[in-house]
Structure 1
Amino acid sequence: MSDQAQAVLLLDPVKTGEGYKQAARDLGLRVISLYTVEQSELNGRWPTHADGDDVSLYASAPADIVSAVAEAGLRVVAVVPAMEAGVHLADVLADMLGLPGNDVSLARARRNKAAMRARAAEAGLAIPRFQRVEDLTEVPGVAAAIGYPVILKPTTGAGSHGVTLLSTAADAANLRSTDATDLFGWPVREWLVEQYVRGRELAVNCLSSDGDHQVIDMWEYRQPDGRDYDFPLWNTVQLTPDDPDWSRVEAFVAQVLRAYGISRGPSHTEVKCNADGVFLIEIGARLAGGPATDLWSAHTSFRPYHDSLECYLGRRPTIMDGVVQTYAAYGAIAIRNDVGPGTLTDIHGLAELEAHPNVAKVLVGYAPGDRIPLTQDSKTIPVGAWVSAPDQGALLRVMGELRRMVSLEIAYDGTERG
């Protein structure tokens, strides 16, 4: 046994992923943080990103990373994807280092959405009709063959960045360009064109240990009306186990986790369900982003960072052998700009929102005087809030109250949606 101090290797621990640093400390582990983005870029976007690191590495090639880890003088005992961008690389590195991880042969299928769809088809999971394209000029013909409406999305990225609803042939014909990079700054070189599945959109959060799976909770992405959409965040509401779709969605997600070789750690699976069945939209082998970790920590017996880290260490956390206790209903609201680009003049009711007793956190993306785009992804949400209440009915009432309280005053450019 080596007398070197034990360490956990965290991949891109920024934003919510920073919580793993304290969990590692609490478990007596040193922290090696691997950042796959240039240090200069991180210094601009997250100047405090390296706080809490014993060792900070900046690399993306697996062989270079393994060499740098060996030179750190610490014994790595777990590899953890602290952000969506790191899920593929984390399992590659765990395999190279001989550490616990998920099936490395399916690592790409858990990250690249084209490979994800191909794996689902191979495993017999219900999915939207789809086709991969490498040139946007292919979109109209492919979309016509699939049948409108369709969703166009980059095969990498997250947060609905670059995702576009094409309702008609005219939408596809008028498609001029999409973002050249994904949410994490990587070049976009391919897209999926896929059938738009109507129905309820649910997110299922699980924890896995040695092939056993525990549902932590389910969330529903609710929209203000019944129109088709390409950005799911408006009201996000925690469901209860007596929900009519809970059992069939839980059973389907268990099949998904097996099909993608997820045997340990957290996962976040998004599905659509309707009268025809449950359809896989996306699988993420990592903790959910956004409000989830804060709300779990405040209102459940699940300790997201500590329990997940135990799984990556090859241990079985106690949460796997009991019922996840939930002490309140919770969710989040996104105050969107659904009209058109312009200049933000004011945010009415912001002080009242921040002071509301059912609101735990408020995120403000723009200030008066800023140019404000149409809300199309997680980066362009003007105002968001984490919300809790004693039960789901009370939660929905509070969400309605908050929406009546807050409004955006925008001087539009004259290119508003019709």
Structure 2
Amino acid sequence: MGKPAILLVDPVRSGVKYKAAAGDLGFAVASLYTSEFSASTPANEAGDDFSTYGADIDAVARQIADSGLDVRAVVPATEGAVFLADHLADRLGLAGNNPRFAWARRNKAAMRERAAESGLRVPEFRLAHDEQQVRQAVAELAFPAIVKPTMGACSQGVVVLSSEADLPVLDDLVTHDLFGEPITEWLVERYVRGSEYAVNFYSVDGEHRLVDVWEYLMPDDRDYDFPVWETIQLAPTDARVERVADFVQSTLDAFGIRLGPSHTEVKLDEDGEVHLIEVAARLPGGPFTEMWDRHSDVIRPFHDSVECYLGRRPALMDEPPAFKAVFGSLAINNEDRPGTLRAVHGLEHLDRMPGIDRVLVDCRPGDHLRVTTDSSHIPLSVFVTGPDADAVLATMKTVRSLVSLDVEPDPVP
């Protein structure tokens, strides 16, 4: 047998951190790039001991066999990889989540159908294959409604319709998803008004360990299609944590998620009922993993995920994560009109402000900024810590009062 290896599926963007984790654990890094998006990512093969391309499971299995590597686990490193990774693990006889429900863990329409047949509460929905069917579905569901591509990521192409006045947004539906793939179907569903939460678990052999719950905070009570404005980690004693965590554990069982990390989004409606918004058998993006890594004595997100896919029990399964601080994050979005960035004001204040964990600036003067409608184009993010939620909220409020984008709007056509 060759050297023991971990097969990473599409290890790009934040998923590249899996390469370091696999190496730290003593494994060779075998990387599979399944799409033009991952294959064209600059320096995508950096850190690979073996690289291959394609999305045909049998062909990939033959390439792995010919490589001489002793693959011990298959790890989906990005959202778009979860379906193929589960089937490939099954094809190679390795540990993985139930491939029977792999499509329902990836495709939002199949996700709704699986949830409904399992008795989990989901918004009323329709599946549409073109703009005309989208409009028909909106008419059947009535307002407010929300339209989402069934594949893709980062809220790209999601639009909310609060009233008939919003119907013109359907004239400009996004045609390709984040990964460059054509969008051929949309999930149209009744919009749930209420508070939204991200619920993070790890699982081994069907046993689930809650990591934490974060609440999405919005600036007002308007309907939204993109939830990333502010987020805050809830205290474990918060009554909402148990409520949503119990629902999510049932969700993980219904979707055959028995292994690895998961990131599930739910809404508590105005009557306090929990609705499934999305389940993902992968690590979360955004601030979550970085904050866990820096401010917990137990959890190492990428290392622990690899351990799970190997069928091992990471320490966090036996010792609940104890965090040294409460976490929060905020996004400074371009919310008005597309234009050219002249300056980012106020960043100098953050250098000496307590509670600032990390500042991520993804823009520079002279850049053209489109209106921020998804998390692939957030100009500036700030990660915040504090002794309690009130301190975190106060710090985020101060940041917003000091930091702003100075954008020269594009000429009106």
TM over 0.5: yes
Counterpart in the other structure of 1:129? 124
DSSP 3-state at the match of 1:245:
helix
List aligned pairs for 1:341-360, cutoff 5 A.
341-353=338-350, 356-360=353-357
Aligned residue number for residue 84 of structure 1: 79
Task: Report the counterpart of residue 108 of structure 1 in structure 2.
Answer: 103
The letter for the 1-side match of 2:221 is G
- Which residue of structure 1 lines up, in the alignment, with residue 17 of structure 2? 19
Change in 2 beyond 3 A, CA 1:50/1:360: farther
* Structure 2 residue aligned with 1:333: 330
Do the aligned partners of residues 139 and 354 (structure 1) sit closer, same or farther apart at CA in structure 2, a change above 3 Å counting?
A: farther
Q: Distance in 2 between matches of 1:159 and 1:392?
A: 26
Identity %: 50
Which residue of structure 2 aligns with residue 406 of structure 1? Answer: 403
Is 1:217 the counterpart of 2:215? The answer is no
1:362 aligns with 2:366: no
Q: State whether residues 84 and 284 of structure 1, in contact with CA within 8 Å, keep that contact through their aligned partners in structure 2.
A: yes
More displaced stretch, 174-183 vs 63-72: 174-183
Instruction: Note the 1:2-401 alignment, pairs <5 A.
Output: 3-38=1-36, 46-173=41-168, 175-274=170-269, 275-300=271-296, 301-353=298-350, 356-401=353-398
Q: Within 2, Cα distance between the matches of 1:181 and 1:326?
A: 39
Instruction: Measure how far apart 1:405 and its partner are.
Output: 1.3
8 A contact 2:159–2:169 mirrored in 1: no
2:39·2:53 contact (CA, 8 Å) conserved in 1?
no
User: How many pairs does the alignment contain?
Assistant: 411
Structure 1 residue 248: Cα displacement: 1.1
Q: TM-score, normalised by structure 1?
A: 0.95
Q: 3-state SS of the aligned residue for 2:320?
A: coil
- Structure 1: stretches of 5+ with no match in the other structure: none
CA distance in 2, matches of 1:231, 1:415: 24
Alpha-carbon displacement from aligned partner over 1:294-351 (angstroms, at most 9, x marks no partner): 1110011211111111110011222111221111111211001221222222110123
361-370 or 310-319: bigger deviation = 361-370
Q: Hey, what's the Cα distance between the residues in 2 that align with 1:333 and 1:166?
A: 25
Aligned partners of 1:23, 1:232: CA distance in 2, in Å? 30
**In 1: Cα distance, 2:217 partner to 2:190 partner:** 20
Q: Once the two structures are superposed, what CA deviation does each residue of 1:196-223 show, in whole Å capped at 9, x if it has no partner? A: 1011100000000000000001111101
Cα distance, 1:255 vs structure 2: 0.5
| Structure 1 letter corresponding to 2:385 | S
Whole-Å Cα distance in 2 between the matches of residues 108 and 342 of structure 1? 39
Alpha carbons 1:100, 1:314 under 8 Å: kept: yes
What CA deviation, in whole Å up to 9, does each residue of 1:141-173 have, x standing for no partner?
211211201111100011101100112224225
Q: Structure 1 stretch 149-158 or stretch 64-73: which is displaced more?
A: 64-73
Tell me if structure 2 keeps the 8 A contact 1:144–1:169: no
Cα root mean square deviation, aligned? 1.6
